Structure 1
Amino acid sequence: MSETELKTEELPPLYQDSSFWGMTVTQFWGAFNDNLYKQLVLLFCAQQALQLQTDDRQGTALAVFALPFVFFSGLGGWYADRHTKRTIVIACKVAEIIIALLAMAAFFTGELLPLLIVLGLLSTQSAIFGPAKYGILPEMLRDDDLPQANGIIQMTTFIAIIFGMASAGFVKQAYPDQLWKTSYFCIGIAVIGTIASFWVRRTPVAHPGLPFSRSALGIDTETRGLLRNDRRLLSVLLISSVFWFVGGIVQPLVNIFGIGQLHISESRTSLMAACMGVGISLGCIVAGRASRKRVNFKLVTIGAWGLVACLAAMAGFGWWATPEAGETLPKADVSLWASFIPLTTTEWLARGILTLLGFFAGLFVVPLQVELQTRPPKSLKGRMIGAMNLINWIGIVLSALFFGLFTWGFNALNWPMSNVFLFLAAVVLPIAILYHPKDEILSHDRP
């Protein structure tokens, strides 16, 4: 029995592995902080646009959040293969504490520019963290545990998104002029995440002495060669990018749909958006369990058709839910807790459709994530995750540009923004029709 096989067999069961749960807790609170702050900035932009009749700067904020992933994901992948990923995880969590302190100062100013600067720093930290976060999973877990592990990681990530996004609407209504107070909470969360990161076990350096080259800032030569020779891996990478392009448009679209088209409060709009997170969490868990120790691409097909149906339903729902129907909803609730109870059929339907949308998104994304972790050789896993982040965030940058174009064009034509949902359904439809690769069995032992 080889040393690698022995180490694999000695790994504890997934649900008893403190290292895995340390990673789960660490990334959960990091995702919470990311989405709390990002949603606060998006709501700030949406409110300014509607109250001051200025351009909606949500697209600008999303671009500021996305661009560091484009510029630094490759560098994060190089670091992840060149150094032990545990060290990178801990360093990124310490950086999160510092950024939370800077966020407090930005809130004090009440101006958009400092908020955007901190948003850019937050995404830079996340860009470096991502390749280590996902790259360490195949190093410290059995391959056949990865579907369930990714299901749990993705589920907890989107639960964090739920609470982060929903909390943003509540704290903005509760402290409209004192948002800096939320930073105490964010700092505490960053500290908890940092402590949890020390539970993560140290894994061997994937590629000791890996030299740095300028290509490492993007997709390096070895990774490009792998993608050129492995068309299956390349197709997974590109489809993953399409998924994040669609998701990048859906989030601000739901914000402007709720506040501008349905005329509901910020807390209700945040809860409506958070319903997608509830659905994604459920979808990720179902995908992890249904995979049964294989990369189950049938789930991608089911997820794609579900996304098409739900996006088309949201477009049709937008035609029916006219502004007059939404005017019966209060623009500010008497109690923040009252926001949890939908007041009209309009709000019930919107939350239900968005929950289903999230569920099918969870089915769609988990097999893609597992394939990108397991298919590359060990020495390239970190850089492949960096490439994945880079390509995904190029999709998100494009989503910010498209959202800005849609906002400008639809306002000029006086069209409801809910029509954008139909465009997104058309983007996903070719994947549902044409993309049907065979499942891939995951072995007990690592390659």
Structure 2
Amino acid sequence: MNPETSLAGVAQPHADPNQFALLQQRRFAPFFWTQFLGAANDNLFKFAFTVMVTYQLSVSWLPPAMAGLVIGALFILPFLLFSATSGQFADKYDKTRMIRWVKSLEIAIMLVAAGGFIAGQVPVLLLCTFLMGLHSTLFGPVKYAYLPQVLSERELTGGNGMVEMGTFVAILLGNVAGGLLAALPGVGHASVAAGCVLVALLGRAVAQFVPPVPATDPGLRINWNPFTETWRNLQLAQQSVVVFRSLLGISWMWFFGAMFLSQFPSLAKEVLHGDEQVASLLLVVFSVGIGIGALLCERLSRRHLEIGLVPLGAIGMSGFAIDLYFAARSLPPAQAMGLAAFLAQGAHWRVLLDLALLSLFAGLYSVPMYALIQMRCQPTHRARIIAANNILNALFMIASALIAGALLAAGCTVPQIFLFTGIANAVVASYIFMLVPEYLLRCVAWVVSRLVYRFEVQGDENLPATGAAILACNHVSFVDAVLLMAASPRPISFLMDHRIFRVPVLGGLFRLAKAIPVAPQQEDPATYHAAFERAAQVLRAGGLLAIFPEGGVTRDGQLQEFKGGIMKILERARADGVQAPVIPMALTNLWGSYFSRIEPGGAMVRPWRRGFYSRVGLNVGPPVAPSGVQPALLRTRVADLLRA
């Protein structure tokens, strides 16, 4: 049984209007609330413990100033030690059984912690902190490897957005509940103990309703050496450049977020001159911002994987982090103020807006990367790749703490740390996008299809989610390839007339996309033969190959005769043992726009010829079996789509 299709009867990719509908379905809702309660309990426990050590328990060997650092370090340590092993468990065993086992472990840990809270035993609670970190380490790979097995490609971005939103809301609620319960006079310790056990029991009860999800690699032999297994997981991730760079990109996002979260108390007290309520408000704004950004991903991507949002998110993160420096550095000295007095000053609203927007863009940045990793990983070792990601996340968070400490020791202010983080984010993001140009290309495609044109796609369910296929489309303008990029959640290799590479800007874009130039055989035999060889390589690798069978951009808006190059491609594919269906496609309403060729004057000479933000479309037809393809028949199919 194929684990990726075993739940096909459950998943209905086109039935749900949006991501919130998933909360009404058994394949997602019990899992969502299980992970939500787990994140909430982690933070309820940690924050209540931190409050008690800081304000209520006098422990000579654990000064209050060090309590938060020690608790955080103990919680992160299992991610470094056991992530590699937990990734193997998640690939080898049924994920639902893993979820239930981990939630049962949580109950046991919380029962021990309850005794520690009631007796005021700090060593016991430190042990439980480490064990709760282990609990989260075991759950992490299952959490993100579960989603692609129960959600379709159209649901994956929305599902990840819901999970990320839920995680940050749970963190916020857990911190608030932990602080409130710990502060209850006389019964605070007992209330925290009862709260932790109750949330663990509720999480285990909800986990019972998670549907069975089969193992993806049941024959895997467990390697118990965490160091060699970690190295092996990183090597697995490096098999795909896009996946590995995405792991680094997600880890950088955690570095970025940790730099801000760690400075909220100092920002509230020393820069904004606010009390504890102001510090809590900063956490609320940050968490809500990330949640909104995560939820927006599905809307902005039109229910597909859209990694073009990642550069957009990076730009927003840097821009608003840098503006936060300017907004915070100019605040005058003031007496300590409560929440109402803080909100009464207009200058503080700019700080809150910057914080909300940088966190919103962080949500846009991270969700598509998680979805890309889930889609591009081999199912048999997906959980191990996610485990490697968790290790990198922990290392980057530790690095953020060390760098923030070094900057403070060097005399930097909190606003200067934000400035450093914003500039560093711009540098790191630019480096990653240069290494993996697919991000930038998809960003350009997203901008063109959403902001330059109103681009609508009909029949996108005919685009294959996996496997080799040939996309055959009419050629109307110089941005046809960009629009096809925007329509497909998978990368496309384009076979294009060599003359289009001479067009300023667009030529550079197509070279960055590694489009395949083709020239007439009589004109340039070497380029002609090299083009078909590269096209065969794309299909052998199971990729999408797009061609424009007319051979050039139309000069009169009419569909031209299809040339025979597609038959040569199919013949070569059959010789290689590749059965690649042909997907007919038709771009509509694009003729007469700025990028189309109209005489006199040609293309790109009258920006407002059709007005701004004109409506264009793409109609995608059912696949045609390679044995039934003929140029005339394919042209008829595309002509029918133009009239649809």
The alignment's TM-score, normalised by the length of structure 2, stands at 0.61
Letter in 2 for 1:164: G
**1:80 aligned residue (82, 90, 100):** 90
Are positions 1:32 and 2:40 aligned together? yes
Name the counterpart of 1:333: none
Unaligned runs of 5+ in 1: 331-337
Name the counterpart of 2:301: 291
Over 3 Å counting, the alpha-carbon distance change for 1:328 and 1:55 in structure 2 is closer
Larger Rg: 1 or 2?
Answer: 2
Letter in 2 for 1:265: D
Name the counterpart of 1:23: 31
**Cα distance, 1:340 vs. partner?**
11
Which deviates the most, 119-128 or 224-233?
224-233
Are positions 1:371 and 2:366 aligned together? no
Over 3 Å counting, the alpha-carbon distance change for 1:328 and 1:4 in structure 2 is closer
Are positions 1:152 and 2:153 aligned together? no
8 Å Cα contact 2:40/2:174 also seen in 1:
yes
Name the counterpart of 1:388: 389
Name the counterpart of 1:181: 191
Over 3 Å counting, the alpha-carbon distance change for 1:309 and 1:46 in structure 2 is farther
Letter in 2 for 1:389: N
**Cα distance, 1:126 vs. partner?**
0.2
Letter in 2 for 1:210: L
**Cα distance, 1:433 vs. partner?**
3.3
Name the counterpart of 1:417: 414
Name the counterpart of 1:68: 78
Unaligned runs of 5+ in 2: 17-21, 444-459, 468-644
2-structure distance, mates of 1:340, 1:189: 35
Q: 1:356-382: per-residue Cα shift (whole Å, max 9, x none)?
A: 222111101001100111111111111
8 Å Cα contact 1:267/1:339 also seen in 2:
no
Over 3 Å counting, the alpha-carbon distance change for 1:369 and 1:359 in structure 2 is same
Q: How does 1:397-416 map to 2 (within 5 A)?
A: 397-407=398-408, 409=409, 413=411, 415-416=412-413
Q: How does 1:296-307 map to 2 (within 5 A)?
A: 296-307=306-317
2-structure distance, mates of 1:54, 1:10: 51
1-structure distance, mates of 2:417, 2:242: 30
More helix by share: 1
**Cα distance, 1:312 vs. partner?**
1.6
2-structure distance, mates of 1:217, 1:86: 27
The alignment's TM-score, normalised by the length of structure 1, stands at 0.85
Percent identity of paired positions between Structure 1 and Structure 2? 26
**Cα distance, 1:276 vs. partner?**
0.7
Letter in 2 for 1:62: G
Name the counterpart of 2:69: 59
Are positions 1:426 and 2:423 aligned together? yes
* RMSD of equivalent CA atoms: 3.2
Name the counterpart of 1:335: none
Q: 1:180-228: per-residue Cα shift (whole Å, max 9, x none)?
A: 4223222212111111111111112111131122455564566344333
Which protein, 1 or 2, shows the higher relative CO under an 8 Å CA cutoff with sep ≥ 6? 1
1-structure distance, mates of 2:262, 2:126: 16
Q: 1:306-326: per-residue Cα shift (whole Å, max 9, x none)?
A: 11122222322332235x32x
Q: 1:295-344: per-residue Cα shift (whole Å, max 9, x none)?
A: 3222111111111122222322332235x32x2404xxxxxxx7798354
Name the counterpart of 2:204: 194
Name the counterpart of 2:578: none
8 Å Cα contact 2:96/2:210 also seen in 1:
yes
Letter in 2 for 1:18: R
Letter in 1 for 2:322: A
Over 3 Å counting, the alpha-carbon distance change for 1:254 and 1:120 in structure 2 is same
Over 3 Å counting, the alpha-carbon distance change for 1:6 and 1:252 in structure 2 is closer
2-structure distance, mates of 1:355, 1:176: 37
Which deviates the most, 167-176 or 201-210?
167-176
Q: How many residues align?
A: 431
8 Å Cα contact 2:148/2:375 also seen in 1:
yes
2-structure distance, mates of 1:318, 1:42: 28
Letter in 2 for 1:308: S
Matched residue SS, 1:294: coil
8 Å Cα contact 1:233/1:372 also seen in 2:
yes
Which deviates the most, 158-167 or 35-44?
35-44
Matched residue SS, 1:23: helix
Which deviates the most, 209-218 or 285-294?
209-218
